[in-house]
Amino acid sequence: MSAPLFEISGLHVAAAASPDAEILRGLDLTIGEGEIHAVMGPNGSGKSTLASTLMGSPEYEVTAGTIRFKGDDIADWPVDERAKAGMFLAFQYPQEVAGVPVRSFLRQAMGQRKGITDMSILEVRLAMMEWMTKLDMDPAFADRMLNEGFSGGEKKRNEILQMAMLDPELAILDETDSGLDIDALRVVAKGVNEIRSARPHMGTLVITHYQRLLDELQPEHVHILIDGRIVQSGGMELASKLEHEGFAPWLEPVS
């Protein structure tokens, strides 16, 4: 049997600046090819820490456990190597990149992913036009500076555009639904679903606070993350229990 696409076991993580205070405290999660997994958890439970650690952010230090991508332990892989191998992260708070238009950024990122130094401008343009139409984006957007003055919804759409064009093996979406209006949320969900059908082997990890995005994406697996650990895994019934009851059923009573 071949190794699963992505396998996290016994993961402990601390902020590099304060290595004694663990944020993730023994997390196990396996994502197979083509699977979509959702992680839900209260504010501060460690969701973004998980996403950033998976992408190799130097802000975090793995203190124990392993992260395997197609069987390889990626502990020492820098961010760009993970991206090149096909890991993609849509950030909760995307950064502005001053003076770089969306189209140039995408051309550079696509080239890096495909290992081509001089990506064809025409190829990038055609792929961009195709996905911008699918994502209901104004073509003028391609000439804007990356994330500069983008509205919340525009930033999120732009991330989905990046995801579509970078052809990931594993996509991690950290609260891609936050701040979206209902129509934009549907566009983003439709985009993710279209990317999934174009790439049926892609694994997806969706971090969200709300059931609405999950209703659109229909993940097979839902995990509840509390205080740095997955305390329960199940299906969509967990998301609807959470929507109705909040996190109380999973929180230990305070004595």
Ligand X SMILES: Nc1ncnc2c1ncn2[C@@H]1O[C@H](COP(=O)(O)OP(=O)(O)OP(=O)(O)O)[C@@H](O)[C@H]1O
48 lies in the binding site for ligand X (CB under 6 A):
yes
Binding segment for ligand X among 38-46, 63-71, 161-169, 187-195 (CB under 6 A)? 38-46
Which residues of this chain interact with Mg ion, rule CB under 5 A? Answer: 47-48, 92
Residue with smaller CB distance to ligand X, 144 or 209: 209
- Smallest separation, CB 221 to ligand X (Å): 18
45 lies in the binding site for ligand X (CB under 6 A):
yes
State residue 85 phi and psi, 5-degree precision: -75, -10
Residue 248 exposed, middle or buried by CB count within 10 Å (0-12, 13-18, 19+): exposed
56 lies in the binding site for ligand X (CB under 6 A):
no
Helix H or strand E segment including 69: strand 60-69
Sheet strand arrangement including 221-226: 87-90, 170-174, 203-207, 36-40, 221-226, 229-234
17 lies in the binding site for ligand X (CB under 6 A):
yes
Residue with smaller CB distance to Mg ion, 47 or 223: 47
158 lies in the binding site for ligand X (CB under 6 A):
no
Identify whether the C-beta of residue 36 lies closer than 8 Å to the C-beta of residue 214. no
Candidate residues 49, 147, 204, 211; the one interacting with ligand X per rule CB under 6 A: 49
18 lies in the binding site for ligand X (CB under 6 A):
yes
Residue 191 interaction partner, one of ligand X, Mg ion, none, beta carbon < 5-8 Å per kind: none
46 lies in the binding site for ligand X (CB under 6 A):
yes
Which residues in 78-97 contact ligand X (CB under 6 A)?
92
Helix (H, G, I), strand (E, B) or coil at 180: coil
Residue with smaller CB distance to ligand X, 93 or 148: 93
Long-range contacts, 107-116 (Cβ 8 Å, 24+): 109/83, 109/162, 109/165, 109/166, 110/165, 110/166, 112/80, 112/83, 112/84, 113/83, 113/84, 113/86, 113/166, 113/167, 115/84
Residues that bind ligand X (CB under 6 A): 15, 17-18, 23, 41, 43-49, 59, 92
